[in-house]
C-alpha cells in the first residue's frame, strides 16, 4: 500500500471511529465558524468538528488532486490536550492521529 492509500484509509478509520461514537455531525457548523484565524479553529469549532469539517476533507482533496501532502506536522498533541480523559472516542482517535503523525514526521527524518 502506498502512502496516499494509507493516509486515505487512516482518514476513513478516524471518520468511522467518530461515527461509531456518535461524534460525527449531520449538519455543518455555521459558515462563520470556518473563518477562524486560530489553529484548529479552536475559538469556533469543537475538536472533532475540526477533524470532520476541515482536516479530513482537505486531506482527501489533496489526495484526490495528487497534490503533495503536508510534511512534518503533528496534530495528536493538540487532541491530547483538547480532549479530556473520558471524552467519547478520545483514546481511539488519539491512537489514529498519533499513527498518522508518525507517518508525516518519519518521512522527513
Domain residues for the domain of 17 are 3-106
Task: Give the angle 59-93-102 at the CA atoms, nearest 5°.
Answer: 60
Contact 104, 71 (CB under 8 A): yes
Domain count, the chain: 1
Burial 12-26 (b: 16+ CB within 10 A, else e): ebbbebbeeeebbee
Q: Is the pTM of this model over 0.85?
A: yes
The whole-angstrom separation of Cα 79 and Cα 40 is 10
Cα 87 to its chain centre, rounded Å, is 16
Please list the pLDDT of the chain residue by residue as tens digits (109 residues).
788 899 999 999 999 999 999 999 999 999 999 999 999 999 999 999 999 999 999 999 999 999 888 888 899 999 999 999 999 999 999 999 999 999 887 654 4
CATH number of the domain where residue 87 is located: 1.20.1440.40
Q: Please answer whether residues 66 and 96 qualify as being in contact, where contact means their C-beta atoms are separated by less than 8 angstroms.
A: no
Amino acid at each position: 500500500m502506498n502512502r496516499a492509500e494509507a493516509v486515505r484509509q487512516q482518514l476513513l478509520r478516524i471518520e468511522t471511529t467518530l461515527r461509531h461514537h456518535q461524534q460525527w455531525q449531520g449538519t455543518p457548523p455555521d459558515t462563520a465558524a470556518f473563518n477562524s484565524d486560530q489553529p484548529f479553529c479552536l475559538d469556533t469549532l469543537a475538536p472533532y468538528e475540526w477533524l470532520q469539517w476541515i482536516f479530513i476533507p482537505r486531506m482527501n482533496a489533496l489526495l484526490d488532486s495528487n497534490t503533495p501532502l503536508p510534511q512534518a506536522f503533528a496534530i495528536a498533541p493538540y487532541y491530547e490536550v483538547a480532549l479530556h480523559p473520558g471524552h467519547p472516542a478520545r483514546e481511539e482517535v488519539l491512537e489514529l492521529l498519533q499513527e498518522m503523525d508518525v507517518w508525516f514526521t518519519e518521512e522527513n527524518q
